[in-house]
Amino acid sequence: MASEKNTAEKKSSWFKNVSDTNLLLMITIVVFFVMYISAMIFLGSGFLKPQAFFNILNAQAALIITACGMSLVMITGGIDISVGGVVALVSMSCAVFLDFGGGNPYTAILLALAIGLAFGLVQGFLVAYLDIQPFIVSLAGMFFARGMTTIVHTNPFNVENEAFTKLKMTRVIIPGMGSINKKGIYVDAYVELGVVVALLIVVILFCVLRWTKLGRAFYAVGGNQQSALMLGINVKRTKFLAHLICSILAGIGGYVYFLHVGSGSPSHASGMEMNAIASSIIGGTMLTGGVGNIIGTFFGVLSLSTIQNIVASAGLDQAWWTGITVAAMLCIFLIVQSVIMARKKRA
Amino acid sequence: MENKNKSIRAFFSGLVKQQVFIPLAALLILALFNLIMDPSFFKITLGQNSVGDPVLNGYLITILDYGSELAILAIGMTLVTAASGGQDISVGATIAIAGSVILRMLCGGQTTTDTYQTPLIVAFLVAVLASMVAGAFNGALVAYFRIQPMIATLILFTAGRSIAAWVNNNELPIVNVDSFGYFGGYIPGVPIPTPFFIAVICVVVIALVMKFTNLRLYTQAVGINESASRLNGLNPEFIKFISFVILGVCVAVVGLIKVSRLSTINYSVVAKDIEMDAILAVALGGNALGGGKFNIWASILGAYVIQFLTTTLYKLEVQSDALPAYKAVVVIVLVVLSAPIVREKLASISKKMKTKEVA
């Protein structure tokens, strides 16, 4: 009897000791592994090869980058729904620049950064210094970016620049993870360049958020703006920086996306902002600000795309299932967050 | 002489302070712009449609026609904005669901039909019920789970069009009944587009509701200070919840108009980006997007102004995909001008000017 009570007490104190960030992060990681392993067991073939996992990374590198930016803004208590539009604008502008403007793929990177920077400066200024709701500002930003994409070029087209195609086909071989294909030939596992960029950004942002003064300021501003101000943090500048970094990351994400698809189209990256927000939320970033983790966001993206792959390979390939599953997952995680917050308040 | 000047000045400054001033001024600027660019914008002709009934043609009639959809949405969106301090971005997707339900009921599961399989009124009521459920879902998440409105409605924004496609098994049912086209077109013998009359009915209903119930007072109270309204015996959660349900009803009405226009539906295109226009209408009406005091009439006027802007851009041969870029600029200008910090700065500048004048 006594020992039972003891363990119960231990459990509750353990529950209290786990911070919001850690609890949400743990839920996400567990969910991802459970999903992936059960997919391996029940759906087999498609998920057993390591390359299947790397393909998820290849396809979602751009989303990982934009979702990291989104998490950063959400940690400060804001939101940025213009990222999908910026990605589309960047890929269209780069495509036009390469094929009609005679540019090379390396100067196109500068173009991508410049677009991201421009959006970041304007949106950051409006949100931080004029105190306008971030949702409205970035909603306008999203529509502006989408409209501009059509103005830059109307029809979708594939890029035929040679230097770019070479860069696009560059693959990073991962040793020891290859598999034997149907013809019996050993094929190396690979990731695209974009994945390397994405992983670098995840690591850098993680370190910045955890160990630098600026990183802690993001959390402080999101947690409680008044207290942050009293601690001597420049709240406006911090918010401005968060939006700036988010838009620049959207620019980089746009280039990585462009590198993956190799074409420009006004309908590119449609709904990407929603996927980025969903991955951040699934990854344990709180909408109310102050709580979040880049590693969680990374796993959020992986969970999101794994569930989409599961839906596709379980034979439900009608297009509507993807929308419904993503929304259902978002809904569940939102409710879990809200319940956790309510419990905290009562405690 | 001086007295007269003063009273005129007072009149104008009083007008400027009125909430309706913003949409009215925008409307005037747009009208003036069109008058200078091409006066034929205002020409209205009496023509005949394909069936041979008399109809009015002209850009102004187009504005009246499509602006009415937006006006109906603006009613609900204003209430949601005032009560919850956020906006519903799922209206476009919910319109797709409502339209899909109407078609499903009318066709009874077939792909085309020449007669109503279910009475129209029943089909419409089921659609109202469906979008009220959608509204209730949003409302419950916002009111009881305390999720920010825009994020809560993100769920239906993502899933709505998929659900709409699922309702009809991804088919595109066609209703070949003449009377079904009346709601989005013209009633024979009446040269004014029907959506305008539907909008008038909705406005009258909401006017009666505001006159005979405490909806307006309670919504404002909750929007201005939630905890104070709770201490006064209101139930803020319920008020927020009910505002989303009312928006659901508005959405169903617009859904009926939308499917009636085409006699069918296109899930990915129907009412696309309409949430942006609806939010814009509320903002243009001078309502605080953070909740609190609201003025439904200003929002309705704002809706027609937005449609005026859209039609003007179309007339200038702007591509429909490029429209959002121009509208986004308008939004930014509007929100910047209405931001409290900017207003304070402007006020202090004008004060300085005045003191200089006196000196």
Q: What is the pLDDT of residue A323?
A: 76
| B285 and B353 inside one domain | no
| B180 and B265 inside one domain | yes
**Which amino acid, A247?**
S
Q: How many helices (H) and strands (E) does chain B have?
A: 14, 4
| B179 and B215 inside one domain | yes
Structural domains in chain B (count):
2
pLDDT in tens, A84-113: 999 999 999 999 998 888 778 888 899 999
Option in A142, A318, A338 nearest B146 (CB): A338
Q: Which of residues 118-177 of B touch A (CB under 8 A)?
A: 141, 145-148, 150-152, 154-159, 161-163, 165-166, 170
Q: What is the pLDDT of residue A17?
A: 53
Cβ–Cβ below 8 Å for B328 and A266: no
Say if B52 falls within a structural domain: no
Q: Within an 8 Å CB–CB cutoff, is residue B329 touching chain A?
A: yes
Say if B156 falls within a structural domain: yes
pLDDT above 70 (res B294): yes
Q: How many helices (H) and strands (E) does chain A have?
A: 15, 4
The single-letter DSSP state of residue B234 is: -
| B210 and B344 inside one domain | no
Domain extent, residue B141, equals 63-317
Confidence of residue B129 (pLDDT cuts 50, 70, 90): very high
| B176 and B308 inside one domain | yes
B193: three-class secondary structure by DSSP:
coil
Rounded to whole angstroms, the Cα distance separating A223 from A235 reads 12
Confidence of residue B12 (pLDDT cuts 50, 70, 90): low
Confidence of residue B2 (pLDDT cuts 50, 70, 90): low
Say if B15 falls within a structural domain: no
What residues contact residue A247 under an 8 Å CB cut-off, 6+ apart? Answer: A69, A80, A82, A83, A86, A116, A117, A119, A120, A123, A124
Q: What is the pLDDT of residue B72?
A: 94
Q: Are A138 and A80 in contact (CB under 8 A)?
A: yes
**Percentage of residues in chain B having pLDDT higher than 70:** 93
pLDDT in tens, B310-359: 888 888 877 777 888 888 888 788 778 777 788 788 888 888 887 877 66
Q: Which of residues 64-103 of B touch A (CB under 8 A)?
A: 86-87
pLDDT above 70 (res A275): yes
Angle at B330 between CA A241 and CA A71, to 5 degrees: 30
Lowest mean pLDDT among A229-243, B41-55, B145-159: B41-55
Q: Which residue has the tokens 């979602």?
A: A60
Average pLDDT, chain B: 86
Say if B146 falls within a structural domain: yes
Q: What is the pLDDT of residue B4?
A: 63
pLDDT above 50 (res B218): yes
Q: Are A297 and A279 in contact (CB under 8 A)?
A: yes
Lowest mean pLDDT among A37-51, A153-167, A293-307, B58-72: A37-51
Neighbours of A187 (CB within 10 A): 12
pLDDT in tens, B79-120: 999 999 888 989 999 999 999 999 998 888 788 888 888 888
| B300 and B351 inside one domain | no
Rounded to whole angstroms, the Cα distance separating A254 from A92 reads 9
Say if B46 falls within a structural domain: no
Task: For residue A147, give both structure tokens.
Answer: 């409209």
**Which amino acid, B129?**
L
| B264 and B357 inside one domain | no
Min CA distance, A323 vs chain B (Å)? 5
Find the CATH number of the domain harbouring B90. 1.10.3470
Q: Are B135 and B248 in contact (CB under 8 A)?
A: yes
pLDDT above 60 (res A5): no
| B350 and B204 inside one domain | no
Best mean pLDDT range from A307-321, B188-202, B312-326? B188-202
Q: Which of B138, B96, B104 is nearest to B244 (CA)?
A: B138
Q: Within an 8 Å CB–CB cutoff, is residue A277 touching chain B?
A: yes
Option in A323, A326, A335 nearest B161 (CB): A323
| B217 and B76 inside one domain | yes
> Is the ipTM beyond the 0.90 threshold?
no
Rounded to whole angstroms, the Cα distance separating A104 from A89 reads 18
| B208 and B334 inside one domain | no
Cβ–Cβ below 8 Å for A139 and B157: no
Confidence of residue A301 (pLDDT cuts 50, 70, 90): very high
Confidence of residue A2 (pLDDT cuts 50, 70, 90): very low
Q: Which residue has the tokens 């825009």?
A: B150
Across the range A220-247, mean pLDDT stands at 91
Q: What is the pLDDT of residue B6?
A: 66
pTM score of the predicted model: 0.82
Q: From the candidates B80, B141, B151, which should be mutated to test the interface with A, based on the most A CB atoms within 10 A?
A: B151
The domain spans of chain A are: 22-346
Cβ–Cβ below 8 Å for A147 and B335: no
Cβ–Cβ below 8 Å for B158 and A320: no
The larger pLDDT score, comparing residue B7 to residue A196, is at: A196
| B302 and B356 inside one domain | no
Cβ–Cβ below 8 Å for B324 and A322: no
pLDDT above 90 (res B165): no
pLDDT above 80 (res B265): yes
| B106 and B236 inside one domain | yes
Across the range A256-271, mean pLDDT stands at 86
Return the CATH number of the domain spanning residue range A22-346. 1.10.3470
Task: For residue B80, give both structure tokens.
Answer: 């949601």
- Cα dihedral A276/A277/A281/A287 (nearest 10): 150
Say if B27 falls within a structural domain: no
What residues contact residue B256 under an 8 Å CB cut-off, 6+ apart? Answer: B98, B99, B102, B124, B127, B183
pLDDT above 90 (res B204): yes
